Amino acid sequence: MPKGNSGISSVLIFFWSVIGPYWIRVGLKNLKRIRGHKMGLSLRAIMMLSLTVLQNVIGRPSWEWNDEGSLSPSTSHHRVKRWEEFPNATFTFDCTDRSIGFYADLEFDCQIFHLCDAAGRRVPYMCDKMTAFNQKYRVCDWAYNVDCETSPDWYYLNDLTYEAPPPKVEY
Mean pLDDT of 40-65: 58
Element (H, E) at 113: strand 112-116
Q: Give the model's confidence band at 152: pLDDT under 50 very low, under 70 low, under 90 confident, else very high.
A: very high
- 8 lies in some domain: no
- 25 lies in some domain: no
Residues recorded for the chain: 171
Whether 110 and 171 have beta carbons less than 8 Å apart is answered as: no
Higher pLDDT, 86 or 152: 152
pLDDT of residue 2: 45
| Percentages of the chain per state (helix, strand, coil), in multiples of 5 | 40, 20, 45
- 4 lies in some domain: no
Mean pLDDT of 41-52: 62
Closest CA to 10 of 56, 63, 73, 58: 58
Whether 166 and 152 have beta carbons less than 8 Å apart is answered as: no
What's the domain range around 118?
Answer: 88-158
Comparing 28-32, 42-46, 149-153, the range with the smallest average pLDDT is 28-32
- 95 lies in some domain: yes
pLDDT of residue 101: 94
Per DSSP bridges, beta strands 112-116 and 122-126 are antiparallel
Mean pLDDT of 17-38: 54
- How many structural domains is the chain composed of? 1
Whether 102 and 133 have beta carbons less than 8 Å apart is answered as: yes
Mean pLDDT of 74-89: 58
- 66 lies in some domain: no
What's the pTM value of the predicted model, to 2 decimals? Answer: 0.50
- 46 lies in some domain: no
Whether 47 and 55 have beta carbons less than 8 Å apart is answered as: no
- 138 lies in some domain: yes
- Centre a 10 Å sphere on the Cβ of residue 78 and count the other Cβ atoms it contains: 9
- 143 lies in some domain: yes
